[in-house]
Structure 1
Amino acid sequence: MSFVARRIAALSTAITILAVCAGSAFAQKKYDTGATDTEIKIGNIMPYSGPASAYGTSGRAQAAYFRKINAEGGINGRKINFISYDDGYSPPKTVEQARKLVEGDEVLLIFAALGTASNGAIQKYMNVKKVPQLFIQTGATKWNDPQNFPWTMGWQPSYQSEGRIYAKHILKEKPGGRIAVLYQNDDYGKDYLKGLKDGLGDKAASMIVIEDAYEVAEPTIDTHIVKMKSMNADVFVDIATPKFAAQAIKKAAEIGWKPLHILNSVASSLGAVIQPAGFENAQGIISVAYMMDALDPQWKDDPGMKAFDEFLSKYFPEGNRADSLVMTGYNAAQTLVQVLKQCGDDLTRANVMKQAASLKAFRTSNLLPGITMNTSPIDFAPIKQMQLRRLKGEKWELFGPMLSAEVGG
C-alpha cells in the first residue's frame, strides 16, 4: 500500500472513530419534553383541599424530599422542578390539572397523583399522550395492567390483596362472625370490597350482614355506624379515607359498639386518624403495614429511620412525624429518584417507564425488613408484601408472618 493510500486509510479510520464517538455521545443524551441538561420537570396532583385533604401531607413531604435532592446536587446534575396542583379530590378537577401539567407546564411525567377515581379519570389521557403516570398513590388493582395501560404504574400494595388478607384473618379469628362493611362509594371502596369477598369465598354471602356505602360529599358517617351496630355485627371492616375513618372510630366508641374493627391501611395513620379519634377509642384495631411506624421504638436505631428523622429536621420540620402519610411521600419520592438515576442521560418518557419496570430488590429507607420492590415489563406492582398489625396503647404492634399481597396469591 502506498504512503498516500495508507494516509487515506488512516484518515478514513479516524473519521469513522470520531463518527462513532460522536454518535455515542449523542446517544447518551436523549430528552423528551420536561427534561434538559439542567432540569427535570415533575408534575403532581394532590387533594390539598376537600374531604381528603389529610393526604395533602404526602405531597408536601415529596416536595421537601426533592428540595433535599436539589440541595445535594440534583439527579445526575439536574435539579428537580416539582410542580404540584390541588384537585380537591374531584376527578373533573384532576383532568383539568393533568392537562395543565402535560400541555401547559410540559412536565416529563406525573408522579404520585392521589386517589383511585382521580387517577382513573386521567388514565386513558396519560396513555394516549404517552406520558408516565408513575407511582400513583392508590392501591387499585387496575394500575397493574401494563398490557393495556403501559404508561400507568402504581406503588403501594393493591387494595384487593389487602382485602383478601383481612378475610383470612376474619375466618381465623371470627369464623362465625357477622360482618358489617363500610366503604367509600367509588372504585377505591369497591376494590377493597371485592378483595374481601374473594377472600371470604363461599362464606361471604352468609357472613356479610350489611354493605353500607357512603358518599365523599357526606359531612358525617355517624348514621352508617349506628345502622351497623343495629345489625348486631361483631366484625367491622372500615374502608374509609382518613376523615371518615376517624369519625367511624369515635362514633363506634360513643355508642358502645365494640366489634373486631379492621381498618384499611390508607386510613391507619396515627397522626391523621387515630390520634384525632382518640387512642382510647381505637384499642385493638387491626390493619396492615408495609412500612415502618415512626413511633415504634423498635426502629429508633434503624439507619433508615435515622435518615428520615434527619430529613424531617432539615427539610420538613413542620411535618408531623406521627403521620404515616409523611413517610409514604418520603419513600415514594425515593423510588422516583432511583428510577431517574437509572435513566442516566436518557430522559425520554419511554426510558422512564422502562427503568420503572426494571426495579430489582430495591429498598427505600423505611420499608419493613424483608420487603423489596421488584417490577418487570409484565409486573407493574412494586410492593407485594404486608404484615398484620394491631393498635396497642399509642402505637401499632406487628404480628404474624409477612404476607403476600398478590391478587390470586
Structure 2
Amino acid sequence: MRKSTRTAVGIVALTSAVALTLAGCSRGGAEGSEGGGAASPGITDETITLGITTPLSGGTAGPGTCTVAGITAYFGAVNEAGGVEFGDGKTRTVEIDALDDGYDPQKAKSNYDQLKDSVFAMTAGLGTPTNRAYRDAAMADEVPQVLVMTGDPIFSEEGESPWQLGFVPIYQNEGQAFGELLAASGEDHKVAILAQNDDYGEGYVEGFMAGIEGADNVEVVKELTYEATDTSVDAQLTELASTDADVFFNAMSITPLAISALQKAQQLSWLPSWFLPSNTSSPAAIVEPGGGAAFPGVYTVAFAQAAASPTFADEEGGQQFLDDLKEYADYQDVPAFPHCVWSYQVGATLQEVFENMTEPTRENFMAELRAIEDFQAPFMLEGTAVNTTEDGMPAVSTVVVQKFNGKGYATVEDFG
C-alpha cells in the first residue's frame, strides 16, 4: 500500500497546543478542482488538512497522545511515499493540526473554533464530553466530525448527526458483549457496578443490562457512580466491596482512577472478576500497575490487535507500525494504550474514503465515508471490520471479549 522510504516530520509547538505538520505538506486556502465544484475549506489540489482536539495533558494524556500519534504515523509514511491519490485524480499529502484540550469540554470547543476555518474535517479526538462540546457547532458549520474516539451513540445516528460518525464501538456494544458472556456462563453471579456519571458510564451500564436481560443467573446487587472530576473512588469501592459481589463492572474512563480502584479493592480483600472498558484496559498502563493479576480474571473487549502484545512486532505490518510511530510521530515507546493502533486504523479508513472522493467537498466526503463495507483496516481482529453503512452504529461495532493472561489479553468464549 505504501513505500518504506522516509523523511522526518516537522513538529512545531504552539501555546496550549501541538501542531503536527507532516512531511511534504503546506497550508493554503481552498481551490477549485477540475471536474468538481468549489473545494471546501481545508483542501487544495496539493494538500488536505485534518484537525484534532484531544487530551495531550492531564489524566487522559496517555490515550489522548496516542490518538494523535497513530494517525500522524500513518499519514507520515503515506506522505513520504507520495501522498494519497484521490478519486478526483489529484494526489494530496495530509496535514494534521492537533490541539490539547486536557479533557476539558470548554477547551475542546475553543480548539474547534480555532481550527474550523482551516481544516477540512475534525477527526480522531478522544472523549465523550469533549467531542460533544463542539458537536452542535460542527453541525451548524457543516464541518465533518468523524471517526472520533467516543462510544457515544449520538455521533453515529445519521438523522441526529449528519456531519458526525464515531469510530470505536458504542459503549452499549461493549457492555452488552460482556453481559452476554456472563449470562451464558450458566453459573450464578452477583455483580457490583461503578460507572462514570455521564453518557459514557450510562451507555456501558445500559449495554450490560441488555446483555443480562432475562438471565436468571446474574443479579446486580449494587450500582454506584463517580464524577469524571473526582480524584478518588475509595468510598465507592468500600461500599461495593461490602456486597461480596463476585463480578465488578467498572465503567471508568480515567486512567489514575482505574489504577487506584484495582489497588483499593485489594486493600479491602475484595477480589471479584473485573470488567474494564476497552479504553482503560491497557495491561502496561493500568492492569499491571493496579495489580490486576491478583483477581480471578480481568476482562475487556477489543476489535484491534494490541501493540503491547509480545507477538505484535511479528504480525503483518506490526514492526512497520512501530517504526512509523518512532519516525513520523516521535513516539519512541511501545504503545501502552490501544488508541495508537485505533488512530492508525482511522488513517487507513480515511485513505479509503479519500481514494473514492470524486469531488473535493465535505458533502462528497461524508457520502463516501458512509459507504464503507467490511473494510479490513490494519490490525483488525478476526470477526471485526470497518462498516459505516448501518445507521446508529459507529465505523466499528463488532467486538470480542478478552481476558488478561498476565502479559496481555487473549480472546475467550467462556466466562471463568
TM-score (norm 1): 0.85
Is 1:36 matched with 2:44? yes
Alpha-carbon offset, residue 85 of structure 1: 0.8
* Residues 69 and 325, structure 2, Cα contact 8 Å, conserved in 1: no
* Residues 225 and 248, structure 1, Cα contact 8 Å, conserved in 2: yes
Indicate which of 56, 67, 82 corresponds to 2:96. Answer: 82
Counterpart mapping for 1:71-150 below 5 A: 71-76=80-85, 77-103=91-117, 106-150=118-162
What SS is found at the alignment partner of 2:288? helix
Deviations 1:270-324 (A, max 9, x none): 2321233235345621111111123445655431324323323533441433432
Is 1:49 matched with 2:57? yes
Counterpart mapping for 1:9-408 below 5 A: 26-28=34-36, 30-58=38-66, 59-76=68-85, 77-103=91-117, 106-173=118-185, 175-201=187-213, 207-241=219-253, 242-281=255-294, 284-296=297-309, 300-315=313-328, 316-344=330-358, 346-376=359-389, 378=391, 381-400=394-413
Deviations 1:372-398 (A, max 9, x none): 212227465221211111111212111
d(CA) in 2 for partners of 1:283, 1:337: 42
* Residues 174 and 204, structure 2, Cα contact 8 Å, conserved in 1: yes
Q: Which structure shows the higher helix fraction?
A: 1
Higher alpha-carbon Rg = 1
Q: Which residue of 1 aligns with 2:23?
A: none
* Residues 274 and 282, structure 1, Cα contact 8 Å, conserved in 2: no
Alpha-carbon offset, residue 136 of structure 1: 0.9
Closer, same or farther in 2 for the Cα pair 1:371/1:198, shift >3 Å? closer
* Residues 87-96 or 170-179, more deviating: 170-179
Letter in 2 for 1:372: A
Alpha-carbon offset, residue 204 of structure 1: 9.6
Closer, same or farther in 2 for the Cα pair 1:317/1:128, shift >3 Å? closer
Where structure 2 has 5 or more consecutive residues not aligned to the other structure, the ranges are: 1-32, 86-90
Closer, same or farther in 2 for the Cα pair 1:280/1:144, shift >3 Å? same
* Residues 191 and 218, structure 2, Cα contact 8 Å, conserved in 1: no
d(CA) in 2 for partners of 1:141, 1:204: 28
Where structure 1 has 5 or more consecutive residues not aligned to the other structure, the ranges are: 1-24, 402-409
* Residues 48 and 93, structure 2, Cα contact 8 Å, conserved in 1: yes
d(CA) in 1 for partners of 2:211, 2:312: 32
d(CA) in 2 for partners of 1:312, 1:90: 26
* Residues 309 and 407, structure 2, Cα contact 8 Å, conserved in 1: no
* Residues 50 and 88, structure 1, Cα contact 8 Å, conserved in 2: yes
Alpha-carbon offset, residue 151 of structure 1: 0.5
Alpha-carbon offset, residue 115 of structure 1: 0.9
* Residues 250 and 281, structure 1, Cα contact 8 Å, conserved in 2: no
d(CA) in 1 for partners of 2:209, 2:263: 26
d(CA) in 2 for partners of 1:68, 1:254: 47
d(CA) in 2 for partners of 1:114, 1:135: 10
d(CA) in 2 for partners of 1:282, 1:138: 28
Q: Which residue of 2 aligns with 1:12?
A: none
* Residues 188 and 218, structure 2, Cα contact 8 Å, conserved in 1: no
Alpha-carbon offset, residue 252 of structure 1: 1.6
* Residues 162-171 or 39-48, more deviating: 162-171
Closer, same or farther in 2 for the Cα pair 1:306/1:50, shift >3 Å? closer
RMSD over aligned Cα, in angstroms?
Answer: 2.5
What SS is found at the alignment partner of 2:147? strand
What SS is found at the alignment partner of 1:27? coil
d(CA) in 2 for partners of 1:388, 1:133: 28
* Residues 184 and 239, structure 1, Cα contact 8 Å, conserved in 2: yes
What SS is found at the alignment partner of 2:342? helix
Closer, same or farther in 2 for the Cα pair 1:279/1:191, shift >3 Å? closer
* Residues 54 and 243, structure 1, Cα contact 8 Å, conserved in 2: no
Letter in 1 for 2:395: P
* Residues 320 and 326, structure 1, Cα contact 8 Å, conserved in 2: no
How many residue pairs are counted as aligned between the two chains?
Answer: 375
* Residues 43 and 49, structure 2, Cα contact 8 Å, conserved in 1: yes
Letter in 1 for 2:98: S
User: Percent identity among equivalent residues?
Assistant: 28
Closer, same or farther in 2 for the Cα pair 1:128/1:205, shift >3 Å? farther
